[in-house]
Structure 1
Amino acid sequence: MTQTTSADVGSARIIEQHSIDYVPWSERRGTLWHQGPFWFAGNFVLPTMVVGFTGPEMGLSVGYTFLAVALGACFGTFFMAFHANQGPRMGLPQMIQSRAQFGRRGVVVPFLATVFVYVGFMVFDTILGTQGLGLILPDGKWFWYPVLTALSIVIAVVGHDLLHFIQRWMTYLLVIAFAITTILAFTSLHAPTAAHAGGWSGTAFLVQFSLAAGYNISYAVYVSDYSRYLPADSSAPKLIFWTYLGAAFSAVWLMGLGAVLASRLGGADAIALIKDTGDHLFPGFGTIVVLISTLALISIMGVNAYGAMLTSVSGIDAFRTVPATVRVRVVGLVAIGVISVVVALFIPTDYLDSFNSFVLLMLYFLVPWTAVNLVDFYAVRHGEYAITDIFRARGVYGNWSWRGLVAYSVGFVVMIPFFSLSFYTGPIADKLHGADVSFAIGLVVAGGLYYVFSRSLDHEAEARARAASQLELEGTPQL
């Protein structure tokens, strides 16, 4: 592992120096409650609102839609939030930790799915951000797509501390703007008539639940990227609590508001719905709210670019050692930005109509990974790893770990009959009239298999490697 050094560790640097490498204890800092606003603002973006349109579009009443959203988001956030504890315990970005379960090279399997998630969200955010700016500026995607992406890349280049700072202040703006918008939605918009209010549908309820759960589970691949600078002895319950509160509360609020707006105004254009609702306060207020939302999109694009860079560099490093330098970070971020712009420019015009399928695909690929990763951290290795061996080709974790790979693959395969997508419906999902419960199957099978497989691990050899690793990294055998 190539590790960054500094003549003055205590001095603040504008541009983050670390990438996929270990953050030593001497550089740890931060406040636990800051995880709350970080994940609130990170999740309080227009694509989150789009998830809440599904229930009303499928004939589900607002009340049942809100219940499905609340249950789904809270369920998905449970898995997402528990990854936060891995950051301070290991001092590593989220996805590179998976080498312990999948092997140094075997981890490229979940890495591919993860990069797909990051780039997909960047593309969604770029398109929506450009549409938001189009309310007051010429709507030219060939100009705004590169500009918005470049702004997000600059934020990501500065890195961890700037992302936390922006997200924290965006939370205050978003809470004020959307508190007013939410009040307007209930006081200024006419409730749907009985004939258009919708009702109960088991299929629609499960679809809405799955979308909300899958959306928040997708954030699991980000989490410890933004908690790895916290002190190693940070309180796990408090860290998990603040992460959970920020991510779950924002999802329930914005998806629920999306359900209300879709049922009262109709349509599935998030920008138009927000503008029309906000303008009930005074003409132009809706535009202000949309522009605040656009700023939040640029910020979360920076978060997505940052995560995509870390994951991509981790994947390349598995086959060819990559130095953990600022230059590598910048090159990786620029490459991610170029790919995102090209995809956004040339995708079909109905891409946003496929948002639900994208969210479900994320759920399918990430559920087996999060099950394996969390079972390993909490039930198998109890948060204790030989950090230096994660970066070594001949470390105790090896290049290919059959336990994680088999558990992940089997977990994914058994989910296929339960898939319910716009272009494919599995046989069991078909019998359930399109309802999707694949996430439950994937979690149980992948997590259960990995736990059983891990009973044959050589814990004594790993304990020796951990002791040597800790002495090498910190010069002490324990915290």
Structure 2
Amino acid sequence: MVNDDDEEKAAMDAGSTEQDVQVAEVSGLQRGAGKGLLSKLMSFRNVEARGIQPIPIDERTNKRTYTIFTLWFTMSLNPLPIVTGMTATLSYGLSLRASSLIILFFSILCTLPVGCLATLGPRTGMRQMIQARYSFGYYLVSIPVILNLATLTGFCIIDSVIGGQTLSAVSGGHLTPTVGIVIIALIAMLICFCGFKVLHQYERFAWIPALIAIVVATGCGGRHLHQQVPVEAPAAATVLSFGALVAGFLIPWGALSSDFATYMEPQTPRWKVFGYTYAGLFLPTVLLMVLGAAIGGAVPNVPSWSQGNDENSAGGVLAAMLQPAGGFGKFMVVLLSFSILGNIAATMYSITLNFQLLVPWLVRIPRSLFAIVITAIVIPISIRAATSFFTNLENFIGVIGYWASAFVAVVITEHAWFRRGDCSTYSPSVWCDAKGLPSGIAALAAAACSFALVIPSMAEVWYTGPIALHTGDIGFEMAFIVTALLYVPFRQLEIKLQGRQ
């Protein structure tokens, strides 16, 4: 637990502005020892008290760089990529070979921004959305924060549905998906409530049972994977549309990637942070998406899998795969359902930080309290979303890639072009000073104007633009390229008018 003097010292180290000291003082809500259940819970040593304030250099002492890999590996080693891969063959009608090539190519490309942005964490000590203030400004950053909150909440909902349905499948219907969703969400909330240290400790080891369960499931159901439904060669539009879904799965992680590296030593080699982030996200995502595509292609030809899909969606398929293993198989299904906790807990952690950025005065509310708030939001929506899972999954992941690509384009262009890759230009003395930060008009205008081409290039279940009719979904490519091109002149004009960077 951080005491009063440490908080004030941290604020001074981060730049000693009046706003910083105020932030340290108002966090006294978190220090009311003995006054209420929340303050008692937060008095435990392993509960992180710090919110969105930049981490001072003397507190960036974590030397275990490999924990970045284990965190991303655990976040990705669960049924979510499997379920996403299943849409390739079940929804898009792609062959296993075509699905695998699309997954590989788009994953190689779309994991790059996540790895790049993670390298800023140790050197700035700032969470990803705090860094975004240096391009989107103090007030206008609330717009990408709202979009990011919606995205992260959506992932939590999908994860909760998968975990709940998988628990329900192993119980033979005695435990409903609704109860399963509640169980998964509440456990994830407890991990998230504690914060950075507990989260990293959990993610350090939680991948082991998850990996065992996935390997056993693959071994039990592997003999059916060759029973693929025959399909015709895919059209280019279908390839690009599924590629956009893969992009929508990966690129949004760029809006929170440095959140998990802010306590690393500032001198940590960038290649290590990039490499561990990239590998931790890329390896399990690709392998499990390909596995999911193989499972989805065989579902119509395997009666037990088809029945499981009808009753409990993807969770029912995984339970059917492990059915030949008897009681041990049921235990593996339980492990699979709880493997989703690594993803939900880490996502919830970033959500709690984003809440404090949504409106400036929300920094006064303890980060941990938002873990309870987001859980109360996720549970009822998850219960509703479970009724039409695959449709909701496609719609959600397909859409989030557009805004995330525009956001990533702004932040990367700002860092690479205007700051020449120099992290020292992110002065901690202005992180909550509206007058010291850019107005954000250039960033918001570039991102908004890009949608003049993004919207005609979209291909969703509910809308297909005139460009996408001929090309397939190329919305995320348009968002990234057009935003980056527009941001350069817009930002140069902003700097000229403001008289500072």
Give the TM-score of the pair, scaled to structure 1. Answer: 0.87
Segment drifting more, 375-384 vs 233-242: 375-384
Structure 2: segments with no counterpart, 5+ residues: 1-19, 32-43, 301-305
Checking the alignment, whether the CA contact within 8 Å between 2:138 and 2:434 is kept in structure 1 is: yes
Counterparts of 1:265 and 1:200, CA distance in 2: 19
Segment drifting more, 249-258 vs 205-214: 205-214
In 2 relative to 1, CA 277–145 (structure 1 residues): closer, same or farther, beyond 3 Å?
closer
**Structure 1 counterpart of 2:394, one-letter code:** N
**Structure 2 counterpart of 1:276, one-letter code:** A
- Alpha-carbon deviations, 1:36-81, whole Å to 9, x = none? 1211111222222122123223332111110111111221111111
In 2 relative to 1, CA 459–33 (structure 1 residues): closer, same or farther, beyond 3 Å?
farther
- Alpha-carbon deviations, 1:161-198, whole Å to 9, x = none? 11111112122222233234334444x215236x7255
- SS of the aligned residue for 2:349 comes to helix
Q: Which residue of the other structure, out of 439, 443, 451, is the alignment partner of 2:488? A: 451
Determine the structure 2 residue equivalent to 1:364.
Answer: 402
**Structure 1 counterpart of 2:59, one-letter code:** E
User: Is residue 2:422 matched to residue 1:387?
Assistant: no
User: Is residue 2:145 matched to residue 1:101?
Assistant: no
Offset at residue 142 of structure 1 (A) = 5.2
- Alpha-carbon deviations, 1:83-133, whole Å to 9, x = none? 101111211111121111111010111111101111111111222211122
Q: Which residue of the other structure, out of 454, 470, 473, is the alignment partner of 1:431? A: 470
Counterparts of 1:49 and 1:420, CA distance in 2: 23
Segment drifting more, 197-206 vs 407-416: 197-206
Offset at residue 17 of structure 1 (A) = 2.1
Offset at residue 359 of structure 1 (A) = 0.4
Determine the structure 2 residue equivalent to 1:270.
Answer: 314
Count residues in correspondence. Answer: 447
- SS of the aligned residue for 2:224 comes to coil
- Alpha-carbon deviations, 1:294-325, whole Å to 9, x = none? 212223221122111111111122xx3623xx
Determine the structure 1 residue equivalent to 2:332.
Answer: 289
- SS of the aligned residue for 1:350 comes to helix
Q: Which residue of the other structure, out of 55, 65, 76, is the alignment partner of 1:23? A: 55
Offset at residue 284 of structure 1 (A) = 3.6
User: Is residue 2:125 matched to residue 1:88?
Assistant: no
**Structure 1 counterpart of 2:235, one-letter code:** S
Determine the structure 2 residue equivalent to 1:156.
Answer: 192
> Aligned runs of 1:308-319 on 2, under 5 Å?
308-317=351-360
Counterparts of 2:353 and 2:56, CA distance in 1: 18
Counterparts of 1:330 and 1:461, CA distance in 2: 39
**Structure 2 counterpart of 1:113, one-letter code:** L
Determine the structure 2 residue equivalent to 1:476.
Answer: none
- SS of the aligned residue for 2:366 comes to helix
Checking the alignment, whether the CA contact within 8 Å between 1:52 and 1:208 is kept in structure 2 is: no
Determine the structure 1 residue equivalent to 2:254.
Answer: 220
Q: Which residue of the other structure, out of 161, 164, 188, is the alignment partner of 1:127? A: 161
Determine the structure 2 residue equivalent to 1:474.
Answer: none
Counterparts of 2:141 and 2:179, CA distance in 1: 37
In 2 relative to 1, CA 43–413 (structure 1 residues): closer, same or farther, beyond 3 Å?
farther
Checking the alignment, whether the CA contact within 8 Å between 1:276 and 1:286 is kept in structure 2 is: no
Determine the structure 1 residue equivalent to 2:17.
Answer: none
In 2 relative to 1, CA 198–171 (structure 1 residues): closer, same or farther, beyond 3 Å?
farther
Offset at residue 207 of structure 1 (A) = 2.1
Offset at residue 408 of structure 1 (A) = 1.1
> Aligned runs of 1:164-243 on 2, under 5 Å?
164-186=200-222, 188-189=223-224, 191-192=226-227, 196=230, 198-243=232-277
- SS of the aligned residue for 1:66 comes to helix
Counterparts of 1:37 and 1:372, CA distance in 2: 28
Determine the structure 2 residue equivalent to 1:403.
Answer: 442
Counterparts of 2:410 and 2:135, CA distance in 1: 7
- SS of the aligned residue for 2:70 comes to helix
Offset at residue 290 of structure 1 (A) = 2.5
Structure 1: segments with no counterpart, 5+ residues: 464-479
User: Is residue 2:79 matched to residue 1:42?
Assistant: no
User: Is residue 2:363 matched to residue 1:322?
Assistant: yes
**Structure 1 counterpart of 2:53, one-letter code:** D
Determine the structure 2 residue equivalent to 1:477.
Answer: none
- SS of the aligned residue for 1:427 comes to coil
Determine the structure 2 residue equivalent to 1:252.
Answer: 286
Determine the structure 2 residue equivalent to 1:51.
Answer: 84
Counterparts of 2:359 and 2:256, CA distance in 1: 18
In 2 relative to 1, CA 182–198 (structure 1 residues): closer, same or farther, beyond 3 Å?
farther
Checking the alignment, whether the CA contact within 8 Å between 2:410 and 2:487 is kept in structure 1 is: yes
**Structure 1 counterpart of 2:321, one-letter code:** T
Offset at residue 16 of structure 1 (A) = 0.9
Give the TM-score of the pair, scaled to structure 2. Answer: 0.83
In 2 relative to 1, CA 413–289 (structure 1 residues): closer, same or farther, beyond 3 Å?
farther
Counterparts of 2:269 and 2:252, CA distance in 1: 24
Counterparts of 2:219 and 2:240, CA distance in 1: 28
Determine the structure 1 residue equivalent to 2:7.
Answer: none
Checking the alignment, whether the CA contact within 8 Å between 2:110 and 2:250 is kept in structure 1 is: yes
